[in-house]
Structure 1
Amino acid sequence: MGRYAEDAKELLELVGGRQNIAAVSHCMTRMRFVLNDPSAADVKKIEAMKVVKGSFTQSGQFQVIIGNTVADFYNDFTAAAGVEGVSKDSVKQAAKKNQSVLQRVVTAIAEIFAPLIPAIIVGGLILGFRNCIDSLYLFENGTKTLCDISQFWTGIDSFLWLIGEAVFHMLPVGICWSVTKKMGTTQMLGIVLGLTLVSGQLLNAYSVASTAASEIPFWDFGYFKVNMIGYQAQVIPAILAAFTLVYLEKFFRKITPQVISMIVVPFFSLVLAVIAAHFILGPVGWKIGSAISSVVYAGITGSFKVVFGAVFGFVYAPLVITGLHHMTNAIDLQLIADYAGTMLWPMIALSNIAQGSAVLGMITLQRKDAQAQEVNVPACISCYLGVTEPAIFGVNLKHFFPFVCGMIGSACAAVICVATGTTANAIGVGGLPGILSIQPKFMLSFAVCMAVAVAVPFVLTIIVGKKKGIGRNTKTEELKAEELKSGELKAFLTGETIPLKEVGDGVFSEGVMGDGLAIIPEGEILYAPADATVTVLMEESRHACGLTLENGMELLLHIGIDTVDMKGDGFEYLIKEGDKVAAGTPLIRFSREKIKAAGHPDTTVCIVTGEGNTQHIEFHTGIRAEVNRTAVVTFE
């Protein structure tokens, strides 16, 4: 039996059972489900599982975030479910039945760019580094750059452009390859098609605007002429050309006899695709791309640019949830091609920072909650480095208000960003490192925007979180109890569970008062393990209480060993005798420091002093318990 066998069984039940799973796979951190009936999944209970860091639905897939151990979890899950896992591509194909037309378009764009993102990030970092050495005037009273005073760095600058040019100018090659790979056709034909779009025989796309119409080279076919224009860094022409190649190849495969398909299919597919690309699709795609970028550019630079920035900054994070944010990659690249820079990407980087800062606020609020910090801290770090998924799905959406605070902070930063005309040379570098992609003259303004994106969400999250009682332990700020399953006692403290025999007290350890278990506490409030009535209180010492469940089971909860000697110093009742309490209700506040100072252990025991109508009781020890979420006792 695997490490996650029990958790896997629980997740299987909560997603609706084996019959509700159309397909399942996993990636680096997530289980990916295609469910026959998505509404059958109990999302609330799934997210309450200790091993689950969050969940979301995107592109027809229900995705459950497990973390770095997802591969082990996946193996236990498929064993428990009795299903065969499939590849991520198969899951994506199965998920299409749950997608709208718009979702399918967005998914296609996302899948085209996904394999290219690592190269785009590298290109962005290189351009950012080149910015620092060839465009920042930091030497000789601000008159020279590092390249101006050093031949070595001039050489480095020149050499690095070899990579930068390959990434951005030759982007159509990568796009054509990615489309053919996604569609399952011949990838080498896609590469060749992409190369014909950026060939050195053609007029470079970046030179078209500065070249007189009469000087643009052309192919002369006697009856008509076609301009010899390259499509360096152009996105839409490459996508249109690539899909044309794909469908031509599929068409010729279908109608061509197998014996001659090796010759006929690639020849006619490639030649016709290249003709279509340069005669029709390239010019049309160029116009479409330019139209889109000009509209966006007008929004960013026009009279209402501040409004545009505020709206974009506010809605970008929700776009991430829907997957529509992938479309901005194409727009950004088109802006760079048309205007030698993009003002969209800086706002995207700021949105990353804002969501990370909201998590930073949660880290501050929940600083005493070790369990929450296991998710909060890595989510914040990854968000500041440009990867927002753990922060958005693992933290901010769970509480919701941090997500909104992040959106507000992002909008504020975006307003300053567009007002100052902050522009990036490249995309792919998000979060705090995003400053490397900013044009040198705008780095200071972007730094101001970054400060706003850090401060506003952080402060708002702290303010709202305190009003909601996040991280504070009072009677009116108790944990919201999950629905208690019949036959379970939830953890009354967060900490390690141990058997009674390890408590070290003659009465409890020997089971004189009844069987039970103990928890070595991490917090300082004792919580009710189930719905019950408060039946016993010790008004002088206040270190223990008795509860009676509806089935007649009687419990004694006792804080510390021999703490009766403290005569109530360090203990405070939060309930009174006769109160009806729900699972998760705070019962007693106590001071671990005072217990330690008095020379007593703070180990807290739960004793079943009366079994009531129960037939069988099982105590779960040797596990780490979490208040109101971990079952420490089960009974029938």
Structure 2
Amino acid sequence: MASTTTSTSQHILREVGGAENVANLTYCATRLRFQLRDQSKVDVEKLESDPAVLGVVKQGTTGVQVVMGGGVADFYNDIVKEPGMGDSAADSAPASGKKEYDGVRGKYSYVDFAFEFLSDTFRPILWALLGASLIITLLVLADTFGWQEFRAPMDEQPDTYVFMHAMWRSVFYFLPIMVGATAARKLGANEWVGAAIPAALLTPEFLALGSAGDTVTVFGLPMVLNDYSGQVFPPLIAAIGLFWVEKLLKKIIPSAVQMVFVPFFSLLIMIPATAFLLGPFGIGVGNGIASLLEAVNGFSPFILAIIIPMLYPFLVPLGLHWPLNAIMIQNIATLGYDFIQGPMGAWNFACFGVVTGVMIISIREKNVPMRQVSLGGMLAGLLGGISEPSLYGVLLRFKKTYARLLPGCFIGGVVMGIFDVKAYAFVFTSLLTIPAMDPIPGYALGLAAAFFTSMLLVVFFDYRGKDEKAEALARIEAEQAAASEAEEERIDAASGPAAGPVADTIAISTPLAGRVVPLAEVPDEAFAAGAVGKGIAIDPSGDTVFAPAEGSVMVAFPTGHAIGLKLDSGVQLLVHIGIDTVNMQGEGFELLVAKGDRVTAGQPLVRFDRAAIEAAGYSAITPVVVTNHRKLADVVALTATGDVAIGDQIIDATPKVTEKV
């Protein structure tokens, strides 16, 4: 039997158009990133019907991102094993032979690729950075509790702490090697040569030449030495240089000997070029950007603390935040602290506040899919500092989310600015990494302000537009009715087959007085098309819905706008008071019964205020439909016009004939 992961993976591949439609597949911390030959073949609704899929976002004309959460690697590994995929999925080129980018789209393709290049360079390294950031947090906690000073020189720290520092420094010290590899791979150059170029500048032999800032003579030329540990811009620029050098060498060197001589000449050219020119230039670029931001911070840390969280909600969906992450690392390497990470936390926690609010509403509405999406986003955020599940699962899908998010970003940024929060280690923003910031109380207060502002805005004002909310509640309503119907059918099946032929017509009387309206004229497409059930509608003249016959309450919505009955005759009847009145949240309705109650003919079920319905801008026309009409031989509305009073027959239902057993 296939595992849940395998079944979901097969489902995803099928709904993106199958293996033959996939030109390229990669993944990052939380998302499967497809490049497709024909994006129109993607069925977003079916993709999102799987509970494991947290969200789907189309990007550009060929890209699709499927948000899976922290277990994304398992789904990726299963998908590439499917027939027609293979391990080459991540390396295959699009059918057109052109480079395709699934990030921000601008007027110029080179702008698109620049940001895509930065994003895809850092994404594969994210796992190592996350792990290292939590090791840093453990050491910072030890500092907080007075066990060992985090920033004390290594020769003053016990061996255990020295070793733990080595555990996280391994990622940051050798970060240029990782960046060199991923950047080269993104460009199409050899990733191991890309890694070897910055690695040469981290060897004991290179370090033995002198200290950072010294000038030495190599090949008869002056070389300025720099500390390349933890740097990101030098390997990025070196990878670009490698791409062009490889391209040139492959044109010159015969293909039969390229495997030997292309890497040889690439290293021979690019390592000196990086040490003499590209490396110092890259450090200059990084220092220049950092100095500019530092100048803004020096002018007013308060203003910068507000700008950063207000920008991030727009930068992250486009992948434009990665350069700032590089600057954070640069700041810590050069200044010993960073002034971006703290304010950035306000954006993250405002984001997590939004999804927490969505989770609260989803629990209240019994909206299972959104509850799963929001719970996954909340846990990934609060414990891991990962915003993608929240961003792609909720924020980019609903109209009102940014109106709830940005006030949290602003208020959190104000608090961060008041306390001038700084980071002394590169960590991801989560509850676990709060101790890495200074001052801790100010940072925690800023996170709380951002989180609860956005969460409460969602709880009190919702996260959806009017149409989005109505659609969601209608779907939930239909699912609950279907579940109740299935349960009733299970009970009927368990009680055994009917005792003899049954073919007598069942007459159903009107549950409320008023003017008859043909179902086709109801101002709701689902009811008008008969998708909900067959029957008729009433424009009510009274204010009460009565039980038309003996039976039980199958569904009783807390809002009082609709009620479902299972009549003793076997007919399942839905009375929906007004159109879109679910949006009134129960205002103007009084529910007089509860689910499971027995009712008798003429018993009041719901009282409603027609004036309140119309004042809210909704139609009071009330569909009265048989929802299990497919189980019956026929359902016929007896009249299409005129007025009806309580007790008048409006629908005839004919059961299917069952043979005596």
TM-score by length of 2: 0.68
Superimposed CA distance per residue, residues 60-112 of structure 1 (whole angstroms, 9 cap, x where no aligned partner): 51224467699889999999xx9768713437887716753222111211222
Which aligned pairs between 1:228-307 and structure 2 lie closer than 5 A? 228-258=225-255, 260-261=257-258, 263-303=260-300, 305-307=301-303
**Correspondence 1:110 to 2:119:** yes
Cα gap change, 1:173/1:598 in structure 2, threshold over 3 Å: closer, same or farther?
same
Conservation of the 8 A alpha-carbon contact between 1:528 and 1:581: no
Cα gap change, 1:146/1:248 in structure 2, threshold over 3 Å: closer, same or farther?
closer
Cα gap change, 1:18/1:513 in structure 2, threshold over 3 Å: closer, same or farther?
farther
Cα gap change, 1:249/1:8 in structure 2, threshold over 3 Å: closer, same or farther?
closer
Hey, what's the Cα distance between the residues in 1 that align with 2:504 and 2:13? 39
Q: What is the match of residue 391 of structure 1?
A: 390
Kindly provide the amino acid, as one letter, of the partner of residue 465 in structure 1. Answer: D
Per the alignment, in what secondary structure is the counterpart of residue 204 of structure 2? coil
- The farther-off stretch of 292-301 and 189-198 is 189-198
Which aligned pairs between 1:356-367 and structure 2 lie closer than 5 A? 356-367=352-363
Conservation of the 8 A alpha-carbon contact between 1:204 and 1:232: no
Conservation of the 8 A alpha-carbon contact between 1:4 and 1:73: no
Q: What is the match of residue 171 of structure 1?
A: 175
Conservation of the 8 A alpha-carbon contact between 2:550 and 2:598: no
Conservation of the 8 A alpha-carbon contact between 2:223 and 2:276: yes
Q: What is the match of residue 331 of structure 2?
A: 335
Cα gap change, 1:11/1:432 in structure 2, threshold over 3 Å: closer, same or farther?
closer
**Correspondence 1:126 to 2:135:** yes
Kindly provide the amino acid, as one letter, of the partner of residue 390 in structure 2. Answer: A
Hey, what's the Cα distance between the residues in 1 that align with 2:161 and 2:5? 51
Hey, what's the Cα distance between the residues in 2 that align with 1:107 and 1:284? 22
Cα gap change, 1:205/1:374 in structure 2, threshold over 3 Å: closer, same or farther?
farther
Hey, what's the Cα distance between the residues in 2 that align with 1:76 and 1:164? 32
Hey, what's the Cα distance between the residues in 2 that align with 1:503 and 1:452? 51
Cα gap change, 1:269/1:6 in structure 2, threshold over 3 Å: closer, same or farther?
closer
**Correspondence 1:437 to 2:440:** no
Offset at 1:165? 2.8
Conservation of the 8 A alpha-carbon contact between 2:25 and 2:33: yes
Cα gap change, 1:404/1:612 in structure 2, threshold over 3 Å: closer, same or farther?
same
**Correspondence 1:463 to 2:466:** no
Conservation of the 8 A alpha-carbon contact between 1:354 and 1:457: yes
Conservation of the 8 A alpha-carbon contact between 1:528 and 1:583: no
RMSD: 5.3
Conservation of the 8 A alpha-carbon contact between 1:355 and 1:388: yes
Hey, what's the Cα distance between the residues in 2 that align with 1:380 and 1:326? 22
Conservation of the 8 A alpha-carbon contact between 2:9 and 2:78: no
| Residue 136 (structure 1) aligned to one of 144, 154, 163 | 144
Per the alignment, in what secondary structure is the counterpart of residue 595 of structure 1? coil
Hey, what's the Cα distance between the residues in 2 that align with 1:595 and 1:282? 75
- The farther-off stretch of 536-545 and 272-281 is 536-545
Kindly provide the amino acid, as one letter, of the partner of residue 256 in structure 1. Answer: I
Superimposed CA distance per residue, residues 265-317 of structure 1 (whole angstroms, 9 cap, x where no aligned partner): 333211211111111112211211111111122223323x4333323212212
**Correspondence 1:318 to 2:314:** yes
- The farther-off stretch of 589-598 and 337-346 is 589-598
Conservation of the 8 A alpha-carbon contact between 1:292 and 1:331: yes
Superimposed CA distance per residue, residues 184-224 of structure 1 (whole angstroms, 9 cap, x where no aligned partner): 5444433332222223345699964xxxx6xx2412655x4
Hey, what's the Cα distance between the residues in 1 that align with 2:582 and 2:78? 34
Hey, what's the Cα distance between the residues in 1 that align with 2:473 and 2:133? 47
Hey, what's the Cα distance between the residues in 1 that align with 2:6 and 2:260? 53
**Correspondence 1:225 to 2:222:** yes
Kindly provide the amino acid, as one letter, of the partner of residue 296 in structure 2. Answer: G
Per the alignment, in what secondary structure is the counterpart of residue 181 of structure 2? helix
Kindly provide the amino acid, as one letter, of the partner of residue 353 in structure 2. Answer: S
Hey, what's the Cα distance between the residues in 1 that align with 2:456 and 2:90? 40
Offset at 1:9? 12
Kindly provide the amino acid, as one letter, of the partner of residue 333 in structure 2. Answer: A
Superimposed CA distance per residue, residues 215-253 of structure 1 (whole angstroms, 9 cap, x where no aligned partner): x2412655x422233322221112112332343234323
Superimposed CA distance per residue, residues 566-592 of structure 1 (whole angstroms, 9 cap, x where no aligned partner): xxxxx99662xxx78899999998677
Superimposed CA distance per residue, residues 583-626 of structure 1 (whole angstroms, 9 cap, x where no aligned partner): 99999986775635999xx9x9833267479xxxxxxxxxxxxx
Per the alignment, in what secondary structure is the counterpart of residue 34 of structure 1? strand
Per the alignment, in what secondary structure is the counterpart of residue 426 of structure 2? coil
Hey, what's the Cα distance between the residues in 2 that align with 1:191 and 1:563? 76
Hey, what's the Cα distance between the residues in 2 that align with 1:83 and 1:152? 58
Kindly provide the amino acid, as one letter, of the partner of residue 170 in structure 1. Answer: F
Conservation of the 8 A alpha-carbon contact between 1:31 and 1:74: no
**Correspondence 1:23 to 2:23:** yes
Q: What is the match of residue 423 of structure 2?
A: 424
Conservation of the 8 A alpha-carbon contact between 2:184 and 2:191: yes
Per the alignment, in what secondary structure is the counterpart of residue 218 of structure 1? strand
- The farther-off stretch of 282-291 and 237-246 is 237-246
Per the alignment, in what secondary structure is the counterpart of residue 56 of structure 1? strand
Hey, what's the Cα distance between the residues in 1 that align with 2:394 and 2:308? 22
Which aligned pairs between 1:78-117 and structure 2 lie closer than 5 A? 87-90=89-92, 96=100, 100-117=109-126
Conservation of the 8 A alpha-carbon contact between 1:174 and 1:191: yes
Per the alignment, in what secondary structure is the counterpart of residue 403 of structure 2? helix
Kindly provide the amino acid, as one letter, of the partner of residue 63 in structure 1. Answer: Q
Offset at 1:353? 1.8
Per the alignment, in what secondary structure is the counterpart of residue 64 of structure 2? strand
Cα gap change, 1:182/1:481 in structure 2, threshold over 3 Å: closer, same or farther?
same
Hey, what's the Cα distance between the residues in 1 that align with 2:592 and 2:20? 49
Identity %: 20
Offset at 1:413? 1.4
Cα gap change, 1:498/1:407 in structure 2, threshold over 3 Å: closer, same or farther?
same
Cα gap change, 1:432/1:544 in structure 2, threshold over 3 Å: closer, same or farther?
farther
Q: What is the match of residue 534 of structure 1?
A: 537
Per the alignment, in what secondary structure is the counterpart of residue 87 of structure 1? helix
- The farther-off stretch of 48-57 and 333-342 is 48-57
Offset at 1:512? 5.6
Which segments of 5 or more consecutive residues in structure 1 lack a partner in the other structure?
472-476, 484-488, 516-526, 546-555, 565-570, 614-636
Offset at 1:559? 1.7
Cα gap change, 1:188/1:50 in structure 2, threshold over 3 Å: closer, same or farther?
closer
Cα gap change, 1:344/1:62 in structure 2, threshold over 3 Å: closer, same or farther?
same
Cα gap change, 1:301/1:419 in structure 2, threshold over 3 Å: closer, same or farther?
farther
Superimposed CA distance per residue, residues 122-168 of structure 1 (whole angstroms, 9 cap, x where no aligned partner): 322222222232x43648xxxx86999xx998332211122233222
Cα gap change, 1:605/1:195 in structure 2, threshold over 3 Å: closer, same or farther?
same
Hey, what's the Cα distance between the residues in 2 that align with 1:5 and 1:123? 31
Offset at 1:456? 1.0
Conservation of the 8 A alpha-carbon contact between 1:58 and 1:321: no
Cα gap change, 1:336/1:512 in structure 2, threshold over 3 Å: closer, same or farther?
farther
Per the alignment, in what secondary structure is the counterpart of residue 493 of structure 1? helix
Hey, what's the Cα distance between the residues in 1 that align with 2:390 and 2:264? 49
Hey, what's the Cα distance between the residues in 2 that align with 1:239 and 1:281? 10
TM-score by length of 1: 0.70
Conservation of the 8 A alpha-carbon contact between 2:347 and 2:409: yes
- The farther-off stretch of 289-298 and 18-27 is 18-27
Conservation of the 8 A alpha-carbon contact between 1:125 and 1:437: no
Per the alignment, in what secondary structure is the counterpart of residue 229 of structure 1? coil
Hey, what's the Cα distance between the residues in 1 that align with 2:373 and 2:585? 24
Per the alignment, in what secondary structure is the counterpart of residue 23 of structure 2? strand
| Residue 64 (structure 2) aligned to one of 57, 62, 65 | 62
